Homo-oligomer: A and B are copies of this chain.
Amino acid sequence: MTAIRIGIVGYGNLGKGVEKSIRQNSDMELVAIFTRRDPQSIQAKVPVVSLDEAESYKGKVDVMILCGGSATDLPEQGPQLARMFHTVDSFDTHARIPEYFESVNSVAAANGHISVISTGWDPGLFSLNRLLFQSILPEGNEYTFWGRGVSQGHSDAIRRVEGVKNGVQYTIPSEEAVAQVRAGQNPKLGTRDKHVRECFVVAEAGADQARIEAEIKSMPNYFADYDTIVHFISEEELKANHSAMPHGGLVFRSGVTGEGTSQIMEFGLNLGSNPEFTASVLVAYARAVYKLAARGESGARTVFDIPFGLMSPKSPEQLRKELL
């Protein structure tokens, strides 16, 4: 069997995660890394190529995995690369997905390429489970909890407070709320009931810690509506214990069938590294892209359109025998 030839576009945390994930998948081979930066500035085991020269890799890359950001990179790179290659991405600006889908779909369809957009876990696996849950249990309540995980937006907000040198914020699901949902109590949960926010803060020398803590806890939108815990720690401690990027969460549906029979469905992720996991999801969907392309399909797709069998290196016969 020939390996699926992969190109990575963008070599940040996500792109590096894809590189690692490909090593775990023996049916895949990394061909090159494409970057907007100076290719000389990146050290890698495969050629690093300027994104401007991507076209020279037509016929040499089966699937391009797009690892740029959703704010500015992907709206441009998605359609641009779908003109030349089959692609997969993790575009995650929920509100702009329909627009992004149209823009990628028209280019991919016109050029005979397949592009799976908005994979990853939210959007992605969480969306899939919400869809599955509500299709099976049309009557019920849905709950989503995020964390325990680092929120970049909230960490940035901490770092903007005067006297703060550095900081990391964890979003943590309320154990009590999760237990109530698991027990089928269908609780009505306000913002404060669902998540706790825990902050690890490095203060500037001589800064007033009580003032910093009060300022964080009362910050509108970010912290005021939550129970917030603030710890002051040293820069060394922050580097040593809070440099990883864990995340995860839980999606529930607490539904009823028949005459009020309780039925609860649950999907959960507990991720040691958010970018490495998202990268692994991208790689599995890259395999699906490859199989769809081999069938001659074209246009944009989402996770809702992709049968799970296409993500596996195993044949349909093998899957029925071993996994069903």
Interface of A toward B, CB cutoff 8 Å: 17, 20-21, 24-25, 94, 97-98, 101, 118, 123, 125, 127-128, 130-132, 134-139, 182, 184, 248, 257-259, 261-273, 276-277, 279-281, 284, 287, 302-309, 311-313, 316-317, 319-321, 323-324
Contacts and interface: CB of A to CB of B under 8 A. Distances in A.
A198 to B, nearest CB: 19
A305 B21 CA distance: 25
B316 A308 contact: no
| 7 cross-chain pairs, A with B, having the tightest CB-CB distances, nearest first | A304-B309, A135-B311, A266-B268, A261-B272, A264-B270, A257-B276, A262-B272
A320 B98 contact: yes
Given A257-B279, A261-B276, A270-B184, A135 B284 contact: yes
7 contacts: A17-B258, A136-B284, A258-B276, A263-B270, A266-B266, A302-B309, A304-B308
A302 B324 contact: yes
Contacts of A313: 135
Contacts of A264: 248, 268-271
A309 B287 CA distance: 19
Residue among A265, A271, A303 with the highest chain B CB neighbour number at 10 A: A265
A98 B269 contact: no
Nearest to A122: B324
Contact of A273 (B24, B258, B269): B258
Contacts of A265: 268-269
A138 B306 CA distance: 19
A273 B257 contact: yes
B324 A17 contact: no
A300 to B, nearest CB: 10
A270 to B, nearest CB: 4
Nearest to A244: B261
B308 A132 contact: yes
A306 B307 contact: yes
Nearest to A95: B321
B284 A263 contact: no
Given A97-B320, A272-B262, A320-B302, A257 B20 contact: yes
